[in-house]
Chains A and B, each alone.
Chain A
Amino acid sequence: MTKATVATCSLAGCFGCHMSLLDIDEKLLDLLQLVEFDRSPINDIKHISRPVDVGLVEGGVCNAENVHVLQEFRRMCKVLVAVGECANTGGVPSMRNGVSLKRCLEQSFIRGLGIEGAQIPDDPELPLLLNRVRPLHHIVKVDYFLPGCPPSADAFWRFLTELLAGRDPALPRELIRFD
């Protein structure tokens, strides 16, 4: 049997969703019978090398680099999945959306506690921040949404096995959680 190919990434997220995926424990071995990982922080491959079957994207979109990565995923993944609250709703990072970017940066880098040599970082290597943090579906078409902060290991397992078996991966009520 040829294995399904999977790519994963974390945008404006905390890697909690990836940790939760790893939390399926010994079932990881079963998962590896079904899938092969392409680009992912788990193997440190930096770009998707060929079109893949499933893309799992954690985190919302907070800067220009996030937009590029998300667009690469949409281009290269047959099925794109928004994983976790940040990818689904913007999540905790989007709590800055009610505050102007200027005030956010000043609070963090100028006025914040214990800052020496205060200045707002402006190295050209740094990706530009967007004025608002956005969930994935504001920017690209998303095929499935896996809620939770993070989605539980059980939710991951259920979702992935149903999807890979070609069935509707809708979660049963007890696995739908927003916290």
Chain B
Amino acid sequence: MPTFYLDDSEIPFTDGETILEAAMSAGRYIPHLCWRPELEPHSSCRLCTVTINGRPFSSCTQPALKGQKVECDTPALLAMRRAVIQMLFVEGNHHCPCCEKSGACKLQATAYLLGMQDSHFHHRFPVRMRDLSHEGVSLDRDRCIRCEICVRASRALDGKNVFAIHGRGIESNLAVNSPSGLLKGSAISPDDAAVRLCPTGALIAKGRGFESPIGLRAYDREPLSSIELREYQARRAVHD
């Protein structure tokens, strides 16, 4: 099997695998937010950035190459990842103490992994539309990081087309495909992969609040990295 170097470890890969996939198979976690193993990569959050010969690449799209030397956990890259997470926090409105997703949120859990103790930047406090119109699903745009996982999952896994991103740059926002623009009247259902895979508390299936108490949720008990590595490797074992 061909191999490449991730910092000091030698990582085997199969032809066509990305750096991120090969690293995850080998038990090396690279932080990521917009990547999901069951969806096409999107390469938008830039959290998975690594450097090759000093140039940055997103490891979720960059194919692994034989003998390549990839830098991942350098102090500069760790600082860059923490800054990316801090920007995601200040750019929206994240009130973790009163968010139903707290403890099971990948944005928050990634912040913990990266040792984020402060927001560093000034908070924007944007005003964004909340959508509680649907009986089974709520959408809180304050918590949306525009990773487009719901957009891709709705199309590829649910066979629907409920979400899209509209607007540009800092003003871009999640749009719902229905005559009124509200979730009520769209094709969404609480069991959709789009809802289940949303990494944050933006999309939430209603009626299940506090099923598990704060402090005892998935990433309260175990770091996100070890849970995701285990899930990815189990998934590979089934698919191989």
Residues of A within 8 A of B (CB): 82, 85, 88-92, 94-95, 97-98, 132, 134-135, 137-138, 142, 144-147, 149, 170-171, 173, 176-179
Q: How many B residues touch A, CB cutoff 8 Å? A: 28
Q: Digitize B99-126: 1 where CB-to-A-CB distance is under 8 Å, 0 elsewhere.
A: 1001100001001110111111011010
Residues of B within 8 A of A (CB): 89, 93-99, 102-103, 108, 111-113, 115-120, 122-123, 125, 127, 214-215, 220, 223
Q: Which residues of B contact A179 (CB under 8 A)?
A: 96-97, 99, 102-103, 214-215
With beta carbons under 8 angstroms apart, the residue of A132, A138, A149 that contacts B96 is A149
Tell me the dominant secondary structure on chain B's binding face: loop
Complex contact A149–B116 (CB within 8 A):
no
Given A85-B97, A91-B97, 9 further pairs, Cβ under 8 A: A85-B95, A88-B118, A90-B125, A94-B93, A98-B127, A138-B123, A173-B112, A178-B111, A179-B215
Bound-state Cα–Cα, A158 to B3, Å: 42
Complex contact A176–B116 (CB within 8 A):
yes
Q: Which of B96, B102, B220 has the most CB of A within 10 A?
A: B96
Complex contact A137–B117 (CB within 8 A):
no
Complex contact B119–A135 (CB within 8 A):
yes
Q: Which residues of A contact B113 (CB under 8 A)?
A: 173
Complex contact B119–A85 (CB within 8 A):
no
11 CB contacts below 8 A, A to B, read: A85-B96, A92-B95, A92-B98, A94-B123, A134-B123, A137-B119, A149-B97, A170-B117, A173-B112, A177-B112, A179-B103
Q: Which residues of B contact A149 (CB under 8 A)?
A: 96-97
Bound-state Cα–Cα, A178 to B131, Å: 25
Can you list the 6 inter-chain pairs with the closest CB atoms, starting with the nearest? A145-B118, A149-B97, A178-B96, A179-B102, A97-B125, A98-B127
